[in-house]
Amino acid sequence: MRMRNNLQDTFYSQIRRLVIPIVIQNLLSAAVNSADVVMLNYVGQSSISAVSLASQYASVLFMVYYGLGTGATMLCAQYFGKGDMKAIKAVEGIALRFSLAISSAFALAALAIPDLMMTLFTSDPELIRLGSSYLRILSVSYLCWGIIEIYLAILRSIGRVVISTSLNALAFTLNIFLNAVFIFGLFGAPKLGVTGVAVATSTSRVIELIACFIVSALSRDIKLKFSYMFIKNKLLFSDFVKLSLPALGNDVAWGVAFSMYSVIIGHMGSDAVAANSFVIVVRNFGTILCFGIASAGGILLGREIGENRLEDAKNDARKLMKLTVASGALGGLIILGATPFVLRYASLSETAMHYLKYMLLINTYYVMGAAVNTTLIAGVFRSGGDSRFGFICDTIDMWLYAVPLGFFAAFVLKLPVMWVYFLLCTDEFVKWPWVLKHYKSNKWLHNITRDNLF
């Protein structure tokens, strides 16, 4: 009995050590997004709406990086458990190849055709004008971001979460400071409004990338080196493609579909867009702990599986689920508690405030669905090398159910905004039966490492 309690204590202590830095990192990220909205609240509702819509491209790009990063993490966490550092360097190089190619495409599009990119989300000329100026300047940050996210994902996969959190803290703190400087024209800087947000973001990303290279130079093992992209290993490349591309496809399919929600809401009026902008910020705070547990759990389980401790991984996955349910309930309470304060300080029209109130109430329970699915699909399943199930599940759920339902409700049935929003927020719960069944089957549990790679 005493040994069993010690094993449980070890699991929870390891989770705590990993979760706390990841939660701090996610908290800082949410703080930057909320700072953008709060500061632009004093500029005007159009500015909030334009940045919210233009940021959907960053959301999709983040899903690309998250897919590549978690794909790399699946391999690196298990190879770290196995003690094969050369394999980890090779995986980093493969991930950088994909990341740089995709980042360059997004950056070129943002620089060359920002008007066309904004037209997808809105037909409002003012929002298109503001969003285009934002996207054009943000193109610089896309290139830096692609390199940063891969390197930080590799660091997290081997347990260096404090370093990755510190680098993000530097960028996020600088971003908030520069936002204030360029939005309001402080310290003699020009008063740039929406454009100031883009300038602040791009500047902070450049500095964060420089900091990554400094950390890399001081590191004894895993460095940020473009030379890793030329490490050749057909087996690792094949494994990365087989594992990462479904994860990438999963996250992109989900991310683009979630952006379609903004397309639907964006064509239902600026009041709905402005309300949703605040809701996204509050929901991000409500899901911080949930997503932190999912990330930390995936790393820890992957390491155990790489050490071939499959029974331990199975038992720890059950403990992870208990933590997830608790964190989902806590996230809902956070959103509920924040609602009065958001309604008091948001400077929106009367209609937008009405939307905001009920959107927030819907999200008090929506976070539970997101918490359970994220922990299982992006944490537990991927730790065992199973990214295919999530890709199939999310693609069917989002593209055959949620997105068509949203378009049908909004543009065919012409239902009120709140009914459309409610229907969109059923997406997480529809897939619960299949996700939970796959979890209980243990078909996700695989040791994906190889011997004698080099």
The Cα 14–Cα 24 span in angstroms is: 16
User: pLDDT at position 91, please?
Assistant: 93
| Regions in the chain scoring below 70 on pLDDT | 1-9, 29-45
| Length of the chain measured in residues | 454
Question: What are the start-end ranges of the H helices in 42-124?
Answer: 45-82, 85-112, 114-119
Residues 407-440 pLDDT 10s: 999 999 999 999 999 999 999 999 999 999 999 9
For the chain, helix (H) and strand (E) counts, in that order, are 18, 0
* Other CB atoms within 10 A of residue 330 CB: 14
User: pLDDT at position 36, please?
Assistant: 61
Angle between helices 310-345 and 288-306 (to 10 degrees): 170
CB-based contact 308:384 (threshold 8 Å): no
Question: What are the start-end ranges of the H helices in 287-349?
Answer: 288-306, 310-345
At position 35, the amino acid (one-letter code) is A
User: pLDDT at position 401, please?
Assistant: 96
Using CB atoms within 10 Å of the CB of residue 265, give its burial: 0 to 12 exposed, 13 to 18 middle, 19+ buried: buried
Residues 335-368 pLDDT 10s: 999 999 999 888 788 899 999 999 999 999 999 9
Can you give 397-437 as a three-state secondary structure string? HHHHHHHHHHHHHHHHCCCCHHHHHHHHCCHHHHCHHHHHH
The Cα 320–Cα 295 span in angstroms is: 11
Nearest to 144 by CA among 175, 103, 200, 173: 103
CB-based contact 373:229 (threshold 8 Å): no
The Cα 63–Cα 404 span in angstroms is: 21
Residue found under tokens 């030379």: 227
- pTM of the full predicted structure? 0.77
Tokens for 67, please give them.
Answer: 């897919």
The Cα 287–Cα 370 span in angstroms is: 8
**How many angstroms separate the Cα of 103 from the Cα of each of 58, 96, 150, 209, 249?**
11, 10, 12, 14, 16
Using CB atoms within 10 Å of the CB of residue 234, give its burial: 0 to 12 exposed, 13 to 18 middle, 19+ buried: exposed
User: pLDDT at position 1, please?
Assistant: 42
The Cα 454–Cα 443 span in angstroms is: 29
DSSP 105-144: HHHHHHHH-HHHHHHTT---HHHHHHHHHHHHHHHHHHHH
